[in-house]
Amino acid sequence: MAKFNIDKTHSEAFFQVRHLVTRVRGRFTDFAGSVELDLDNPQNSSISLTIQATSIDTGEPDRDTHLRSGDFFDVENHPTLTFQSTGVSKKSDEEFDVAGDLTIHGVTKQVTLPVSFLGFAKDPWGNNRAGFESESKINRKEFDLSWNAPLETGGFLVGDEIKVSLSIQAVAAE
């Protein structure tokens, strides 16, 4: 079993949500986590991730302030978003399904994330690294993120479906 810590400076946590007729993209800039990897017995592997909700960044300060408020993430009462795996199953040599508990806004739901293992590499300083990517969709209302505004033409301002994209580079723990 090899243990890796997420390298925040070489990793990304992005999301997209429909806003009117286009999509707004954003990211979280402060997160940490670890991966325990057993490629021979993937069911023994595990992943944990903690994202600081206050680090949300959509490139628009007023929108970010609203997203941190009680209308959305309520960062004063729910400062983190977390994922803790409960099971890993192998689909192919590079593809895995990672089941786990996702907690957002104080609500925990069981989700399964498709994870691609991108391989190992040694960096110029001799550190062993591993790469992973995942892309999934969640419904924000399942996590009590339900604020919205009706439109005169019908429908609502913000879509319910959130596309989440993770690109993780992790360095072997010492």
pLDDT tens digits, the chain, 174 residues: what are they?
Answer: 999 999 999 999 999 987 766 788 999 999 999 999 998 999 999 999 999 999 999 999 998 998 999 888 999 999 999 999 999 999 999 999 999 999 999 999 999 999 999 999 999 999 999 999 999 999 988 998 776 555 566 655 667 879 999 999 999 997
pLDDT of 147: 63
Q: What is the pTM of this model?
A: 0.91
How far are the Cα atoms of 80, 147, 171 from residue 10, in angstroms, in the given order?
A: 20, 33, 10
Domain ranges of the chain: 2-172
pLDDT of res. 99:
98
Give Cβ neighbours of residue 55 (< 8 Å, ≥ 6 apart): 28, 29, 30, 31
CATH architecture of the domain covering 2-172: Beta Barrel (2.40)
Element (H, E) at 1: none
